[in-house]
Amino acid sequence: GAVVSQHPSWVICKSGTSVKIECRSLDFQATTMFWYRQFPKQSLMLMATSNEGSKATYEQGVEKDKFLINHASLTLSTLTVTSAHPEDSSFYICSASSHGTSGIVTQYFGPGTRLTVL
Amino acid sequence: AQSVSQHNHHVILSEAASLELGCNYSYGGTVNLFWYVQYPGQHLQLLLKYFSGDPLVKGIKGFEAEFIKSKFSFNLRKPSVQWSDTAEYFCAAAPYNNNDMRFGAGTRLTVKP
């Protein structure tokens, strides 16, 4: 159980175009989803937290207008990188949280999407 | 500010050697602690987690971690590593029942056959 998928797994785009990445919780409902960015040989950096039906909360330094997050349902969140530039090339990872019976939150991670902007 | 520190950036061991990776956290209040592993070219996988109870937590693949509250530490251990344990290991922490998870910088483990 607790599987999170991402689509696409790999995308190459031209500079100036927009790219949408989907994150789905396949077998559970996720009230909260997270988007991380991972640079080569570095750790995950939290970009934003999104709750279903409300606006995402962005971390300091993350441009809201560049990284558009939509959490339209309990099983789907999307990240759109608008007007992508080469410096946006990175590995984007989403996670979805599930509340256990004791109320403890556990995050389940997707496989990631590698974005390369030419 | 909430933070997680991993002091070992790169650890190189021979097979059968014992492993201990350090993790310290800076959080006020009750904290949930995690160790994730990322094998080359793969996504994050949960190794083990601590929420409450026995501070010695056993995870998959023979890994264990000990929560020492007084030291704000959650070190990962394995008695005998294998070549297949070569991967990046991330420690993470989150406040109790809160989604604000923070990751350490990661420790790259290389196991020589």
- Per-residue pLDDT tens over the stretch A13-54: 999 999 999 999 998 888 889 999 988 777 888 899 998 888
What is the Cα A53 distance to its own chain's centre?
Answer: 16
Question: From the list A44, A103, A110, which residue is nearest B103 (CB)?
Answer: A44
Euclidean distance between CA atoms A90 and B5, whole angstroms: 23
Chain B residues inside the 8 Å CB shell of A107: 94, 99, 101
User: Residue A20's CB: how many other CB atoms inside 10 A?
Assistant: 14
Question: From the list B51, B94, B105, which residue is nearest A43 (CB)?
Answer: B105
Interface of A with B (CB under 8 A): 32, 34, 41-46, 49, 93, 97, 102-112
**Percent above pLDDT 90 for chain B:** 68
Give the tokens for residue B113: 């056959």
Residue A102 confidence (pLDDT) = 61
The low-confidence residues of chain B, meaning pLDDT below 70, are 1, 97-99
Q: Which of A33, A78, A37, A73 is nearest to A57 (CA)?
A: A33
Q: Label the pairing between strands A90-99 and A57-58.
A: unpaired
- Nearest-5° Cα angle at A95, A36 to A17: 50
Q: Tell me which chain A residue has its CA closest to the CA of residue B104.
A: A43
Q: Identify the sign of the CA torsion B98, B99, B105, B106.
A: positive
